[in-house]
Chains A and B, each alone.
Chain A
Amino acid sequence: MRSGDFKQSYGELVALTDSRPVWLWSAILVVALIAAPYMLNSYALSFLIIILITGVGALGLNILTGYTGLISLGHVGFLVTGAYAYAVTVSKYGMPPIVGFLAAGIVPALASLVVGAPSLRLKGLYLAITTLAFSFIINTVILEARTLTNGARGISVQRPEIFGVSFDSDTAFTHLCLGFAIVTLFATLNIRRSRVGRAFVAIRDNDIAARVMGINLHAYKLFAFVTSAFITGIAGALYGIYLSFVSVEGFPFLLSIEALAILIVGGLGSALGAVLGTILIVLLPEATRFTFSLFSAQMDALFSTGAQELKSMLYGLVIILFLRFQPRGLVGAWHDIRRTWVNWPLRY
């Protein structure tokens, strides 16, 4: 806490940040991200795209698990539902991509009511298992509903053209993902600083007190489910477009674990944490592969053949390490560093 903090008006008190440097650095970062596709090679660019898409999904899960404290092991279910909603409306029925994106949000949101409503009374492990079951049921439904989804054959998806602007090139598609990521981040931060976000956090921290404050637990848990599923579904559509092919195999259960790992590594209940966690978790397998490849070519080969298995081991490892040594995640570490910095040497 800086001693010089002196707020001028109540408007500033409810602002996202009252710090000019924060706005300035955010603006610089956005400009850098817009410029990035022109500088990066296609290999590096693919990581940027994945980070942006994964970030949207992580922010979605953050609303349910981070803010509201409802653990979901089945978030891949919303991801795949969103991807199919987009693919079916746009690729199969030839509707405009805007409609596809809307469907990618709304269909998972409706699906979340189906899984959310019966799990309102469940907590912790029971809820986690219910959501897990949901994601497997969704897969079965998709495989069975062949007329709509082509079953196991999947649906190929083209990069969209929206209002006459083509997002076909990697550069343009990066910009599209960047747009979605920024909008999602603002939406999340706005929710958090409003009545709705406070209700979510109240339910997480003390549900009895929350109810005494007049918060309708059932309604707000469903709001959290719906909002979370909507955002996650959009991420699913983007991922499907990126893969240019939507199938059940494209959305393995590992993605649910990856999303949880992101939140734990970043710091549960923080939008900034979700962003930092996304960057770390997306780059981690690649960084590990690179490190090992310095030592032997065999390790490198192992990484390309057993990628999934090694990824799940890595995620498990970082989850354990963070829970043990840095339970508040990267955001917690960042706050500690900043406090040390502000108070150094003995600012007061």
Chain B
Amino acid sequence: MTPLLTVENVSKSFGGLKAVSGVSLNVTQGEVCSVIGPNGAGKTTLFNVISGVLRPTEGRILFNGTDLASVSSSRFAAIGIGRTFQNLALFKHGTAVENILTGRHTHLRSSVIDAVLYFGRTRREEIAARKQVEEIIEFLEIEHIRDAIVGTLSYGQQKRVELARALACEPKLLLLDEMVSGMNQEETEDIARFVLDIRDELGITVLMIEHEMRIVMDISDRVHVLNFGRKIAEGTPAEVRRDPAVAEAYLGGNRSDAGAKVSA
């Protein structure tokens, strides 16, 4: 099985700080993969280089066999990489529907002139997009907030709209950066269920950053552990849980509470 995503020896430095340092990992089609690690381990930075927000200082990333270095950053969505952000990045003045529609961007064709006329194919295309958005809304059970301005929604609801917007891109690989942080028990369980449905029903491969060990252990096929920018472990949830280096990283790190969660 060839991997969908191959990260080879990737590093990213900010001035003197090496936020990601020589990380390699594979994500196979159809997997739910997790990236864990203490605060500041470089997880979000790794996502930023995979999603084209930042370019790696060293190393190579292959997606579906394509070297991402040759892909311009606004084309990442088109080739099938979607993501959510750790700190919400919604278009906050718009409604939930408008936000999700924006996710359809690469699947629509209308030019500025088509848009001005809003006629024929353009109108049909918009109607089709609206239909697909409605399906995603139903899938994620957010019918009741579809017309709300997203800035007025609760944190958990906004996270769900962001997930919907990422799904609207129809990605092959979905990167989820701490979806459940700040969510209550019930919302967390909803998200865990959605992630599995996204994989099983939509056939989307998921790579997620999570601090919440329960969800990581419950739903991931593979777990990659980062600490100080380096990958220190990889394996099934059970393997990672037993790995002494992982417990060490969490206990020795600045997030001592997570150590307890790993062994929990």
Which A residues fall within an 8 A CB radius of B? 1, 10-11, 13-14, 187, 190-191, 193-199, 201-202, 205-206, 208-217, 223, 226-227, 269
Question: Which residues 214-256 of B have a CB within 8 angstroms of A?
Answer: none
B127 surroundings in chain A (CB, below 8 A): 10-11, 13-14
Kindly identify which residue among B106, B117, B131 contacts A214, using a CB–CB cutoff of 8 Å. B106
In the complex where A14-B127, A223-B112 touch, is A215 in contact with B74 (Cβ < 8 A)?
yes
Interface contact A208-B53, CB-CB below 8 Å: yes
Interface contact B73-A211, CB-CB below 8 Å: yes
Nearest CB in chain B to that of A14: its residue: B126
Bits for B111-139, please: 1 = Cβ < 8 Å to A, else 0. Answer: 11011111000110111011100100000
Interface contact B115-A194, CB-CB below 8 Å: yes
Interface contact A215-B122, CB-CB below 8 Å: no
With a 10 A CB-CB cut-off, give which of B94, B110, B116, B130 has the most chain A CB atoms. Answer: B116
With a 10 A CB-CB cut-off, give which of A187, A193, A212, A215 has the most chain B CB atoms. Answer: A212
A212 surroundings in chain B (CB, below 8 A): 51-53, 76-77, 82-83, 89
Interface contact B73-A202, CB-CB below 8 Å: no
Asked whether any CB of chain A lies closer than 8 Å to the CB of B211, the reply is no
Nearest CB in chain A to that of B92: its residue: A205
Asked whether any CB of chain A lies closer than 8 Å to the CB of B85, the reply is yes
Task: Identify 14 new A-B residue pairs, CB closer than 8 A, beyond the known A198-B101, A202-B91, A211-B74.
Answer: A11-B123, A13-B127, A191-B112, A191-B116, A193-B126, A194-B110, A194-B115, A195-B105, A198-B94, A201-B93, A201-B98, A205-B92, A212-B51, A223-B112
Q: How far is the CB of A187 from chain B (nearest CB, A)?
A: 5
Interface contact A214-B91, CB-CB below 8 Å: no
Interface contact A209-B89, CB-CB below 8 Å: yes
Bits for B60-81, please: 1 = Cβ < 8 Å to A, else 0. Answer: 0000000000001111111000
Interface contact A213-B93, CB-CB below 8 Å: no
Docked complex Cα distance between A191 and B112 (Å): 7
Query: What are 12 residue pairs bridging A and B, where the CB atoms are less than 8 Å apart in the complex?
Result: A10-B127, A190-B115, A191-B115, A195-B129, A198-B94, A198-B105, A199-B102, A201-B93, A205-B94, A206-B92, A212-B51, A214-B74
Q: How far is the CB of B14 from chain A (nearest CB, A)?
A: 16
Nearest CB in chain B to that of A227: its residue: B112
Which B residues fall within an 8 A CB radius of A? 51-53, 72-78, 82-83, 85, 89-94, 98, 101-106, 108, 110-112, 114-118, 122-123, 125-127, 129-131, 134, 147, 165, 169
Interface contact A213-B106, CB-CB below 8 Å: yes
Interface contact B115-A209, CB-CB below 8 Å: no
B106 surroundings in chain A (CB, below 8 A): 213-214
Nearest CB in chain A to that of B118: its residue: A190
Q: How far is the CB of B160 from chain A (nearest CB, A)?
A: 16
Interface contact B90-A214, CB-CB below 8 Å: no
B74 surroundings in chain A (CB, below 8 A): 211, 214-217
Q: How far is the CB of A118 from chain B (nearest CB, A)?
A: 20
Q: How far is the CB of B171 from chain A (nearest CB, A)?
A: 10
Docked complex Cα distance between A212 and B117 (Å): 27
Kindly identify which residue among B51, B85, B118 contacts A194, using a CB–CB cutoff of 8 Å. B118
Q: How far is the CB of A271 from chain B (nearest CB, A)?
A: 13
In the complex where A209-B91, A212-B83 touch, is A197 in contact with B77 (Cβ < 8 A)?
no
B169 surroundings in chain A (CB, below 8 A): 213-214
B131 surroundings in chain A (CB, below 8 A): 10
Q: How far is the CB of B118 from chain A (nearest CB, A)?
A: 4
B75 surroundings in chain A (CB, below 8 A): 214
B76 surroundings in chain A (CB, below 8 A): 212, 214
Interface contact B91-A195, CB-CB below 8 Å: no
Q: How far is the CB of B90 from chain A (nearest CB, A)?
A: 7
B89 surroundings in chain A (CB, below 8 A): 206, 208-209, 212
Interface contact A196-B115, CB-CB below 8 Å: yes
Nearest CB in chain B to that of A195: its residue: B108
Docked complex Cα distance between A210 and B105 (Å): 9
Q: How far is the CB of B252 from chain A (nearest CB, A)?
A: 33
Q: How far is the CB of B67 from chain A (nearest CB, A)?
A: 19
Interface contact A213-B102, CB-CB below 8 Å: yes
B118 surroundings in chain A (CB, below 8 A): 190, 193-194
Interface contact B53-A205, CB-CB below 8 Å: no
B51 surroundings in chain A (CB, below 8 A): 212
**Which 9 pairs across A and B sit closest by C-beta, in order of nearness?**
A214-B77, A194-B115, A214-B106, A205-B91, A209-B89, A190-B118, A196-B115, A216-B74, A195-B108
Interface contact B110-A196, CB-CB below 8 Å: yes
In the complex where A198-B105, A199-B102, A216-B74 touch, is A14 in contact with B91 (Cβ < 8 A)?
no
Docked complex Cα distance between A187 and B101 (Å): 20
With a 10 A CB-CB cut-off, give which of A187, A202, A217, A223 has the most chain B CB atoms. Answer: A202
Docked complex Cα distance between A284 and B58 (Å): 60
A199 surroundings in chain B (CB, below 8 A): 102, 105
Interface contact B147-A1, CB-CB below 8 Å: yes
Docked complex Cα distance between A13 and B98 (Å): 12
Docked complex Cα distance between A283 and B31 (Å): 64
Kindly identify which residue among A1, A209, A210, A216 contacts B85, using a CB–CB cutoff of 8 Å. A209
Nearest CB in chain B to that of A219: its residue: B74
B112 surroundings in chain A (CB, below 8 A): 191, 196, 223, 226-227
A197 surroundings in chain B (CB, below 8 A): 115
Docked complex Cα distance between A205 and B88 (Å): 12
B77 surroundings in chain A (CB, below 8 A): 212-214
Docked complex Cα distance between A209 and B87 (Å): 11
